[in-house]
Structure formats: structure tokens, C-alpha cells
Structure 1
Amino acid sequence: MNFNVRAPSTMSLLCLEASARLHSFTAAAKELRLTQGAVSRQIQTLEDRLGVRLFTRRRDALVLTDAGRYYLNEIAPLLQRLERATANVIALKGRGGALSLSAGASVGTYWLIPRLPGFTRDHGEITLNLGTRVGPVDFRTTAVDASLEFGDGQREGLHNEFVLPLMLSPYAAPEWIRRHGKAINPDTPRSALIHHQTLPGAWDEWFRLEGIEGDATREGPRYEIMSMALNASVAGMGVALLPPYMTDDMIALGRLKRLSRRMWRYPKGYYLVYPEESAQLPSLQVFRQWLKDQANETP
């Protein structure tokens, strides 16, 4: 980090964001309760410091230059974090706070959310804002404090803390089992194997563990996320490799059955990932410990 580069003032960044959003120094000034001249001077000072033009000044509206658009995209998450932190301090007087978390769709829906009432009960001073996405979070462009995501724990420049393994076994609907048998074997039609793209090669490895010869990946439907594979198997469309946290309720309802006693640990797992600037957030420290406690209690 180059400490000789002095950061622009917060006010100049707020003037940039408001002017870009409203396409007008006058409208930005009204929103920020400044004069039009004050906003214009803030932008001029910022442009002088950066050495680039941020706006093209047209008669009818302001338009960001390419440099201005890039710079605004980079600082937008920081401004959102600043706004959220300010609101938290005002509302909670430093006694709690908010935590913006992203979670993988399947682990968020089927493992995390059913456990959140306990967190809310024990830590009512923390507001947890939860979103979901497929793939890793880009913390540079997204106003997220941390992410519970599937991966190998090797995201460079970020904290990667292991939370939960992904244990897999084959599951199918009772009707499918009546038609095709109670176990995966060499005669199981390959077109009945449901694949999910987050687990490439999973069925090939399962075949190897079971001593079944042949290619398991050429046929069968493919879905982007595990929840789709779960619903397809419940609908009787085939067999899916799934973790118990997604299947236990369906087994209890009689809508799925497990086809093997074997439980295979996939090479990747679930990690709590966060940037250095989030590390000291009290809300994240509390959630991090709670999350590990929940993982330790998961069979």
C-alpha cells in the first residue's frame, strides 16, 4: 500500500456519486444540502487529485467519462459500507451492528437459514442481511462483509476459514427406485444420473469408489446448483449425489430414499471468506464463532 497517496475526502466521493446518479451538480447539491458551487468545487478538486476528468459536462446533463465510471464502480461498495456503518452506530449506539453475508444458494437455504432463529434469539443486537449467489463473491464490487461459499479455501488475499465439509451419497424418489432398483450398479442407466455443475466429476469418482466400470459423465441431465438436482430427484427424474442437510427432510416425508450406506467427502467444502477490512467487525466475530459452533454440531 502506498501511504504517500492521500485518499480523497468523503465529501468529494459523495458529491461524485450523487452527481453521477442524478446527472447534475445542481440536483446533487440539493440532495446533499450544499450549494451548486460547493459540489462543483469538490468534483474539480477530486479531478485535480486524480489527474483525470471524471465528467463530460454537456448542456443537458453530466455524463461520466470512462475513468469516472471505473472509479465510481470501485468506490461504490466503500460508500455503501460507510452508509451502513453510520446507520448502525446511530441506531444501535455501538451495541451491535449489521452483517451483510452472502451464502451459496443450497447451503444458505437448506443448512444456514434453518439455524438462524437460534442466532437471532441469542444475538438480537445484530441484524443479519443475507443474500445468495452462484460462485465466489467479488468483494471489490459488492457491499458484502463475508461469504459462506463453496470452494477450496485458497482465495488469495482473503481470510478463508473452513466451516463444513460436503458429504455426498446417492438419493432417488421411491417411485424411481421401484422401477430401477435400490442401488447404483453397472446396469443403472447413465441417463438417470443427475449432475450438478458445481461438482464436476462427482459421479465418476462415485463409480470408482463403488468399483463400477464405465463413464458416468456423458449422459444425464445437468443442473447449475444442487437445489435443482434435489428437486429433480424428488420429482423422480433420476439419482442425485446430495448431502444429508438437503435430504433429511425429504427422507422424513418419504419423498426420497438413500441408495447407499457409503458417504463420500467431496474434495471441496464450505468456507467463510472475508476481506481484511471485515476482520475486526464485532458482528462478524460473533457470527464466525456461532457458525463454527453450528458446524461442530452437524453430524
Structure 2
Amino acid sequence: MGIKNSRFSLVFLRKWGLAFCLVLFFSGCEYLKSLTESRYRKRIGGEPTSEKDIVNWKEKLALEEAEIEEMDKRIRKLVQKSNQSAALSWKIARAYMRAGSADVGVRYYEEALSESIPNAKEGGFEIHSYESALPYFEKAIQSGKLDKQLLYETAVAYANASKDMGWEPTRRNRAIALFKQLAKLDKEDSRFPFQLALVYFDSSLKDEAWNGKLSNGFDEVETAFSLLDQILRKEPYNVPTRFAKANFLYQIGKSSLAYEEYTRIKSILEQMKENGTIREPLEENSSYKNVLNNLNVLGAQNKSN
């Protein structure tokens, strides 16, 4: 019933064809970049820049960006054919970050985040944890290319890196600071207080083993509940937040309150079915099946107590 976070990693490519394509892609990008810079440098060093020059440069830049985008699409197709797609996305993201393309790099990190790869060595592939991504996120932030999604992914990376180390305080504090910053930037986006609540709660569980490392626990369970309640006051039908609250209640031993919360979720999902928000039969809806299962488990436990 717990909430699990996926781990993601970097692998060394086995298939030379794919590796060769990646090398060509990045070397091609560098060639286009150096070629353009040399031409512009010669032009800038000569006559004063005219409006026509600027128009020509913009057209040239748009063409090069289109070529890069086309290469990017081809790489995505190759990655999708591999059974190591998450790991490859992780590798490509790091390469983009090294090249200073934070916006493109983050897209690949997001794809890697949607997959689950165990933090171990499998089949000869070397697998790394979130820790390896942190320098690239920091570099992207320092470059000045800030947006909410980049900050969000950076905060997630820090939270998971801290969790892997038994909730190491420095990385945990960095994640918390970033989530708080995001919450101030956009008070309407409930993702930020939600993720902050997860960090506060998970890191407050004493003697929990994360990736083989024991955590002493932080005393901030009530802060986690407060954040979830703030979201629910604004969004009473926010099902993921209600699931998290029910899960938290169960984990701290408040089974009766957890049962009540799951009952509310069941009613909300049934209302959503009635008003057409949920289109498939409830019996096929994963959230509804999950809530029924949890109610059955908790009901049996409450009867035995």
C-alpha cells in the first residue's frame, strides 16, 4: 500500500548501431554549432550588422534547430525499440545537459523517470542512481534557463538521491527548498506541496530501510498531513492526494481513519463515473479497484482487532 518511487539509471550501450547513431547525432550538433559560430564571428567582425543580416541569421538558426529536432525524433525511435529505453533516455539526457541544452535534456530525464530500473547491475549494464544526475541539473539551473519543470525535476532528483542514502540531510534540504520555491512561484499547482508532503512523510518514518540504508527519521509527519489538507481544501476531489492521505494514516497505525478516507475516495470515484469524468466501467478503473482492495484489507484488519 506504500507509495513507491521509481529509480532510474545510466547504462552502457551494447548495440553498436545505436551507439554509432548517438555519436553521429551529438557530433553533428557540434559541427552545426561551430560552423554557425565561425560564420557569425566573421560577419560580426566586419561590417555593422543590418536588419537583413539578422533575418538571415534567424532563418539559418531555425533551419539548424529543425535539423536537430529531426535527429532528436530519430533517436527517440531508436530508443523505443530497445528494452533498455529508460536507461538510454538517462544517458541521452546527460549528454544534452553537458552540451547546455537543458530544455531538451529535461525531456529525456522525464522519459527516464517514467520507467523503473533497479539500482543494481544487470546483464552487464552499469546502473547508477539519481545522484549521478544532480551535477547536470545544477549546471542547467546555473545557466539561467529556469522554468518550473526543470526546477521540479531537479527537486525530484535531490529527493530520490537523499532517499537512496537513508534520507541524507543535505540533499533532502535541497529538495525541500526547491519544492518550497516552486510552491511560491505557482500557488495553484498542487504537484509541489504534494511532493513536499511525500518527502516530509517518508523521511519521518523511523528505522525504515531505503536502498539498504536505515533512516533515523525526521519528526515532520504532521507537516506532511498539513500540506495534504491544504490541497484538499482547494481540491476536495483530488484523488491522488486522498490516496496519499489514506496511505499515510495507515502507515502510522490509524487504520480506522484510513478506512474512512478510502470510503470517501470510493464515493468520489463513483460520482466521477456518474458525471462522465470516468468513462470506462468502474470495475476496470485501476483507482477504483485499488480502493476496493484496500477497503477489503482494512475491513478485515479492523474486524480482527
TM-score (structure 1 length as normaliser): 0.28
* Bigger Rg, structure 1 or 2: 1
TM-score (structure 2 length as normaliser): 0.27
Higher relative contact order (CA 8 A, sep 6+): 1
| Structure (1 or 2) with the greater helix fraction | 2
